Amino acid sequence: MSENLLEVTGLQKHFPITKGLFKRQVGAVRAVDGIDLNVVAGETLGVVGESGCGKSTAGRLFTRILEPTGGKIVFEGEDITHKSVTQMRPLRRDVQMIFQDPYSSLNPRHTIGTIISAPLQIQKIPTPQGLKKAVQELLELVGLNPEHYNRYPHEFSGGQRQRIGIARALALRPKLIIADEPVSALDVSIQAQVVNLLEDLQSEFDLTYVFIAHDLSVVRHISDRVAVMYLGKVMEIAHRDDLYKNPRHPYTVALMSAVPVPDPVRRDSAQRGRVLLTGDVPSPINPPSGCRFRTRCWKAQDICATEEPPLVQRLDDPDSHLTACHFPVVDDEAVAGRAPAATPA
């Protein structure tokens, strides 16, 4: 494919934990702790992981709503890691965000017209056809009645509100849209409509998506490539089919096996292949040394505690892809939460 739209290297975001009257820093939540990835123009990069793994924080770092603690973000060849609010303003046109909660992402006191025209007004974008007309065009684009421009958010359903959020993100005709769990607050039937709308818009406006979600099947449907995150780190990145068919990282294997199987005939066999992880996700305040996943991994060995595995493609495995693991899972290996397999790959 073509060039990278977004390049992220070693990105970190630590939220300080303060204590006492003078706000002495006693620690930090390492929400995002060194992630490397790039987003190719025109593709959809899915980001999956369980709650609290730093997906949303990563999304907010890409749009620079949050200030990174470390690392580097390059957008279209321009380093935007530490740009100030004023320096970022022109770039806001190119990177927009769709939010998770359609109820809190729209200001209840503003009409739909005000909400969707806000980006145009803030960025002072001229609308030759008039602001109202521009808003109505956007409403039509996302499948809403253009006559509804002076209604209030509380008069719409969750799916419609999410469409309003999408119209607002589209108003500036961005190149990159960070969608932070855009469908996880919606009913399954509405999810499909919104996901299809996002796909239609992508082909119509040459959009690039970073699609953050915890629903593996939605991500599989929409993404070209998928990144798996765990405790603030990227564990594995691969093309969709590659990742879903040949997961290499033990965490990805466990994650994939947790996807519910709707077919009752296939369910039995799927149940047998289920990998049950023990324990909880460790605290991001004090993550495990070495590999983050070693505390719950059935393949963990001594080296996992001392040496952090880099996110690389292993040379000894031609079918492999970028994986951060010392002992990646191979295709026909006996996995599952059974007895720990002692043999390294």
Partner 1 sequence: MSLGPEASVTDETSAPTADAAEVRGPAEKAIAGRSLKQIAWRRLKKDKVAVGGGIVVLLLIVVAILAPLLTKLFGHPIDEYHIDQIDPTFGTPIKPWGGISSDFIFGVEPTSGRDVFSRVVYGAQTSLTVAFLSAFVSTILGVIFGTAAGFLGGWIDSMISRVMDLLLAFPQLLFSIALVSVLPYSILGLDGRWSRILVLVGVIGFFGWPYIGRIVRGQTLSLREREFVEAARSMGARSPRILFRELLPNLAAPILVYTTLIIPTNILTEAALSFLGVGIPPPNPSWGGMLSDAISTYQTDPMYMIIPGGMIFITVLAFNLFGDGLRDALDPKAR
**Which chain residues interact with partner 1 by CB under 8 A?**
21, 23, 60, 63, 65, 85, 88-89, 92, 95-97, 99-101, 104-112, 118-119, 122-123, 141, 143-145, 147-148, 150-152, 154-157, 159-160, 163, 165, 168, 172, 190, 193, 196-197, 200
Number of neighbours of residue 298 by Cβ within 10 angstroms:
21
Closer CB to partner 1, 196 or 289, in the complex: 196
Q: How far apart are the first and last CA of the chain?
A: 31
Q: Which of 103, 100, 105 is nearest to 182 (CA)?
A: 100
Minimum separation from the CB atom of position 14 to partner 1 (A): 17
Minimum separation from the CB atom of position 199 to partner 1 (A): 9
Longest dimension (CA), the chain: 68
Closer CB to partner 1, 16 or 340, in the complex: 16
CB 243, CB 219: distance < 8 Å: no
Minimum separation from the CB atom of position 136 to partner 1 (A): 12
**Burial (Cβ within 10 Å: 0-12, 13-18, ≥19) of residue 58:** buried
Q: Which of 215, 328, 221, 336 is nearest to 270 (CA)?
A: 336
Task: Give Cα 316 to chain centroid, integer Å.
Answer: 30
Distances (CA, A) of 214 to 48, 89, 209, 243: 5, 30, 16, 15
Minimum separation from the CB atom of position 211 to partner 1 (A): 16
CB 197, CB 186: distance < 8 Å: no
Minimum separation from the CB atom of position 17 to partner 1 (A): 15
CA dist., res. 35 & res. 58, Å (int): 9
Closer CB to partner 1, 83 or 240, in the complex: 83
Closer CB to partner 1, 147 or 263, in the complex: 147
Minimum separation from the CB atom of position 198 to partner 1 (A): 10
Closer CB to partner 1, 159 or 284, in the complex: 159
Closer CB to partner 1, 168 or 225, in the complex: 168
CA dist., res. 227 & res. 234, Å (int): 7
Minimum separation from the CB atom of position 64 to partner 1 (A): 8
**Burial (Cβ within 10 Å: 0-12, 13-18, ≥19) of residue 115:** buried
Closer CB to partner 1, 118 or 259, in the complex: 118
